[in-house]
Amino acid sequence: MMKTFFLALTFFLSTTAFSQSAASEIIQAFRSGNAGKVSAYFDNLLEITFDKTNKEYSKSEAAAFISGFFSDNSVRDFKVLHQSGSSGSFYCIGNLITSSGTYRTTFFAKEKGGRTVLQEIRFEK
């Protein structure tokens, strides 16, 4: 019984640590305005909300959107306001500070097929 408990606890902690590592990598990618690193976490379909318009993009369309966004809005910093996660998913809310202003940015990610994938990003000016 104790062996099963410790195995379950080890699995839970390793999953949580992996999510936190992925969250840190995604945050750092936003902070540096690195579209390639952000795009590496995209799910096959990604929902992006920008300028009050919500649209679902394929992975390649979303990568082009983020690349264009970062090109048009040179990123200066990303300041985390709140982040949380549970059961293989997490979200982060922060201020993305760019050359054209600050965007309140929220992203949602989850574990899928053994890897962390972004499923939604929101930009609000």
Confidence of residue 86 (pLDDT cuts 50, 70, 90): confident
- Whether the predicted pLDDT of 39 surpasses 70: yes
Sign of CA dihedral 73, 75, 79, 82: positive
pLDDT at position 20 is 66
What range defines the domain where residue 86 resides?
Answer: 2-124
- Whether the predicted pLDDT of 30 surpasses 60: yes
The CATH number of residue 91's host domain is: 3.10.450.50
- Whether the predicted pLDDT of 37 surpasses 70: yes
- 107-115 long-range contacts (CB < 8 A, ≥24 apart) are 107/26, 107/30, 109/19, 109/22, 109/23, 109/26, 109/41, 111/15, 111/18, 111/19, 112/43
| Among 120, 113, 125, residue whose Cα is nearest residue 38 | 120
- Whether the predicted pLDDT of 12 surpasses 50: no
For the chain, the domain total comes to 1
pLDDT at position 17 is 43
- Out of 49-53, 59-63, 113-117, give the one with best mean pLDDT: 59-63
- Average pLDDT over the chain, rounded to an integer: 88
What DSSP element (H or E) covers 50? strand 42-50
What DSSP element (H or E) covers 73? none
